[in-house]
C-alpha cells in the first residue's frame, strides 16, 4: 500500500452496491405486523413485554440496515466517481 494513496483507493471498493430497498421495507412491515404490541394488547403481561421487545428489535434492525445501505451507496458512488479535494482555502473578504 502506498501511504500517499487516497484511503478509498487503497481498499479498492466494489464499484456497485445493489440493495432492494422495497424488499427491505416490505419485510420490515411484515415483521411489524407479526410482533406489533397492539396485536398483544389483551395478552398476558409476559407476552406484551416480549412483543414490545421484538418490535423494538425489528425497528432497530431496520434503522441500522437503512443507514448501512445508504452508507454503502455513498461509498460505492465515491469509489466510482472519486472525490476531488481542493487544497485551496476559500478566501473571505471583510467589508470595511
pLDDT band at 54 (very low <50, low <70, confident <90, very high): very high
Q: Are 33 and 41 in contact (CB under 8 A)?
A: no
* 27-45 confidence digits (pLDDT tens): 999 999 999 999 999 999 9
Return the percentage of the chain with pLDDT > 90, whole number: 40
The per-residue pLDDT for 81 is 73
Give yes or no for a contact between 61 and 27, defined as CB atoms under 8 angstroms apart.
no
Q: Which helix (H) or strand (E) holds 87?
A: none
Q: What is the pLDDT of residues 5-30, one digit of tens each?
A: 555 555 555 555 566 888 889 999 99
List domains and CATH numbers for the chain. Answer: 14-81 (1.10.287.110)
Indicate yes or no: pTM above 0.95: no
Sign of CA dihedral 67, 5, 14, 83: positive
Arithmetic mean of pLDDT over the chain: 77
Burial of residue 48 (CB within 10 Å: 0-12, 13-18, 19+) is: middle
Predicted local distance difference test score (pLDDT) of residue 55: 92
The residue behind cell 456497485 is: 16
Amino acid at each position: 500500500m502506498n501511504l500517499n494513496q487516497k484511503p478509498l483507493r487503497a481498499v479498492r471498493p466494489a464499484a456497485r452496491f445493489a440493495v432492494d430497498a422495497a424488499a427491505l421495507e416490505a419485510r420490515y412491515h411484515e415483521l411489524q405486523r407479526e410482533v406489533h404490541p397492539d396485536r398483544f394488547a389483551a395478552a398476558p403481561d409476559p407476552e406484551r413485554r416480549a412483543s414490545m421487545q421484538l418490535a423494538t428489535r425489528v425497528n432497530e434492525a431496520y434503522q441500522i440496515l437503512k443507514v448501512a445501505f445508504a452508507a454503502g451507496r455513498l461509498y460505492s458512488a465515491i469509489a466510482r466517481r472519486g472525490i476531488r479535494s481542493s487544497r485551496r482555502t476559500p478566501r473571505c473578504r471583510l467589508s470595511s
